[in-house]
Structure 1
């Protein structure tokens, strides 16, 4: 670790050591560094285990710093009651996360005006009828020159539900799952109309169509192949839930060069961010909250049982969403790593330097300060962060949260630090217990053995399961849905 601390990024060469070069993003990061008085950053660890600067996977050196005590105030007072947590400690932790880690959302953002762009009656899986609607949320800036932001969301609900249905919102493209296709008769009519219009525009096409009468410009779609493994959407619908796909990239690009556009750019009128302003993770969470606004108006949706889900970087965004929007009832967090459920203080796998350099646009500018120890003022590292993943999970309490990981052998890399996430989840359990809910374990997070792979710790509102798949939460979806119905007291 000492060897790595001697390496640094200068303002000129900030993107040259293990970070993909992007001139616009590099310039934006360099400007933020100047605003903070930072002259260099420590490069992140390398995900290649054979590289000289490979990420550490040594448990003997993994815990140089203890986790901040989520049940002790910054002035050292213990938090012993639910009222203290609600009125004092929770707001304090949330404020630190806003200022130092994820950034603040501007209070004066223009409203989002949703409209249904398209609707379709579809069939998912083996005969499960659904109604799918694609929505567009327009965010128009009254100032001239800034293009509007157009949020995209797809809402899919069971077609034959007899009561309001819970909905799991997921981060991903808002694409129709199984677009309905014209019948053979309808395809023939469309084909005839197309050929007539084209021949009218270009008469030379008429003899071509005559020579190839069997060729159809608009024919029936090829039949879908049967897949015996139910997809995630099919499992959700089969359980009596609906789902919504909120497209995070419709709100904010996943790139530092996009910080002067999207919703962050719109909020600033195209100007650069201030150090305490939001990054992409908070922007994606904001988009999910605006999607919730619309879902809560749909009479077919049970607005008291809307959940949020994400994997990897979107697992981080799902946790941020759950932590800052108390309306979400439940969360499924897949393989979220650092910036999500894994402690930033752990020297294992991904490091603070990876987030501060290659993925700095996810975070507030102030986060860069914690990657300067030994190379630049203000000489801070992860040990100076007054909050960590245990506190972020605790911000969700007592609402139900399901933490999901896979295994390295199947592709859920050690980089994600599954054990570190387990430790943070164990420590967050203390807050759940204080609030009258149940955690995953009772004891010291530093000495608590991890559950075996496939062993679910899901008796209470905070749950954990490591499946035997890779970088996905799909194997945990059926377990999550059963658990969610139980903790949300829903009868199928």
Structure 2
């Protein structure tokens, strides 16, 4: 089992020196925003692109938009709901993905949470009007998902992760996309968005080209392209949210696309918010073995070799500055290394301070269920690897303070 291989003993965390986000690779100290934006930020972004997540090998714009369903009386009259299909075409390739959008009826141009869901848009609510995706999905027989197909049996099974009414009542929209429609979550680079960019007889991305996380991030950017055209949405206030592997995705989307107003990483762990050099819980070697398609092939150079990394995940968070970022952990989720997630937020803070923003000032993790709410925010809650009402309550409160 994965857990048996993991280190959960703080005394066995190797000694390491974290790179300073405000010192360039050639040793120059960064003293102001201009130097950060002209020198340090570009070299960090380039390193993460080439060695972690991979380059997007071209540009592809939305070919067409189809409004396939709409209601002014969703959520018992509280919300305007629409289901929008974004279509992409290139050569002989076509790809469609559906965005489910709920908007508060009492807000003219709503700020909005944009996110992926794991099992199809129909799972976030019992609403019978939500279209069931026909895309590939990993089997979950307990939810009626067999032969890699979603069925009516899974409608509403993730309601507990998505308090849609609470979000709408707080004055926010929510837009969700089934991530498997953008790129199926399997080690097969011949489907999803990847083949659109292959040349000649290419069947795999090059070693420095995008894995699935970068592909999913790309899909969020195209969703934002659409939202910028939607008169009901304030596209300058779109908060990108993700849990677990999709928390990694949200961080990378926020780092690479500065149009996102804020970023939320929920239990994102290794390759997300957690420091790699701690080798606590899931490690680079483990994630590359279990999910070889998530990152670019160059990331495998750092399997069991974290000590040679000239960066760490606090610098990924720093790439989001000066926009607000929230890192959240769960007490029982040791696989994702809550302490490593906290330390990333802490050690990213100096970059936010360059901009006059407040981050994490205390060196010790806060007690459970006592969030630190600033431009860089953090909480650890009781419970396991999941998304809970408690998490959303903090995210909404934080968004009220720093985005709305």
Per-residue CA deviation, residues 5-55 of structure 1 (Å, 9 max, x unaligned), is: xxxxxxxxxxxxxxxxxxxxxxxxxxxxxxxxxxxxxxxxx5333xxxx21
Show the counterpart of 2:133. none
CA shift at 1:119, angstroms? 1.7
CA shift at 1:249, angstroms? 1.0
CA shift at 1:157, angstroms? 0.8
Residue 261 in structure 1 maps to residue 191 in structure 2: yes
8 Å contact from structure 1 (residues 47, 349) kept in 2: no
> Map of 1:120-139 to 2, 5 A cutoff?
120-124=71-75, 127-139=76-88
Structure 2 CA distance for aligned equivalents of residues 110 and 331 of structure 1: 23
Show the counterpart of 2:378. 464
Residue 166 in structure 1 maps to residue 111 in structure 2: yes
CA shift at 1:480, angstroms? 1.3
Structure 1 CA distance for aligned equivalents of residues 302 and 255 of structure 2: 22
Show the counterpart of 2:8. 57
* Structure 2 residue runs without a partner (length 5+): 130-154
Per-residue CA deviation, residues 207-227 of structure 1 (Å, 9 max, x unaligned), is: xxxxxxxxxxxxxxxxx99xx
CA shift at 1:128, angstroms? 4.9
8 Å contact from structure 2 (residues 61, 222) kept in 1: no
Structure 1 CA distance for aligned equivalents of residues 380 and 59 of structure 2: 41
Change (3 A) 1:230 1:81: closer
Change (3 A) 1:316 1:78: same
Show the counterpart of 1:344. 276
> Map of 1:233-244 to 2, 5 A cutoff?
233-244=164-175
Of 434, 438, 453, which residue of structure 1 is paired with 2:358?
438
8 Å contact from structure 2 (residues 62, 86) kept in 1: no
8 Å contact from structure 2 (residues 272, 313) kept in 1: yes
Show the counterpart of 1:118. 69
Residue 415 in structure 1 maps to residue 364 in structure 2: no
CA shift at 1:111, angstroms? 3.9
Structure 2 CA distance for aligned equivalents of residues 303 and 137 of structure 1: 17
Most deviating of 62-71 and 84-93:
62-71
8 Å contact from structure 2 (residues 179, 216) kept in 1: yes
* Structure 1 residue runs without a partner (length 5+): 1-45, 182-223, 374-380, 443-447
Change (3 A) 1:231 1:293: closer
CA shift at 1:107, angstroms? 2.4
Structure 1 CA distance for aligned equivalents of residues 116 and 107 of structure 2: 27
Show the counterpart of 2:98. 152
State the aligned residue count: 371
Structure 1 CA distance for aligned equivalents of residues 115 and 23 of structure 2: 34
**Any idea what SS the aligned residue of 2:356 has?**
coil
8 Å contact from structure 1 (residues 114, 136) kept in 2: yes
> Map of 1:319-338 to 2, 5 A cutoff?
319-338=251-270
Structure 1 CA distance for aligned equivalents of residues 82 and 74 of structure 2: 13
**Any idea what SS the aligned residue of 2:112 has?**
strand
Change (3 A) 1:230 1:101: closer
Structure 2 CA distance for aligned equivalents of residues 99 and 55 of structure 1: 27
> Map of 1:160-239 to 2, 5 A cutoff?
160-172=105-117, 173-175=120-122, 177-179=125-127, 232-239=163-170
Show the counterpart of 1:397. 321
8 Å contact from structure 2 (residues 85, 97) kept in 1: yes
Structure 1 CA distance for aligned equivalents of residues 235 and 57 of structure 2: 25
CA shift at 1:132, angstroms? 1.5
CA shift at 1:117, angstroms? 1.8
Structure 2 CA distance for aligned equivalents of residues 108 and 398 of structure 1: 26
> Map of 1:292-307 to 2, 5 A cutoff?
292-307=224-239
**Any idea what SS the aligned residue of 2:277 has?**
coil
Structure 2 CA distance for aligned equivalents of residues 122 and 404 of structure 1: 33
Residue 427 in structure 1 maps to residue 342 in structure 2: no
Per-residue CA deviation, residues 82-127 of structure 1 (Å, 9 max, x unaligned), is: 1111111001100001101000012243544222122234432xx4
CA shift at 1:179, angstroms? 3.6
Change (3 A) 1:265 1:177: same
Residue 76 in structure 1 maps to residue 31 in structure 2: no
Change (3 A) 1:133 1:317: same
Change (3 A) 1:162 1:390: closer
RCO higher in structure (CA 8 A, sep ≥6): 1
**Any idea what SS the aligned residue of 1:120 has?**
strand
**Any idea what SS the aligned residue of 1:302 has?**
strand
Show the counterpart of 1:450. 365
Structure 1 CA distance for aligned equivalents of residues 288 and 394 of structure 2: 35
What's the TM-score once normalised by structure 1's chain length?
0.72
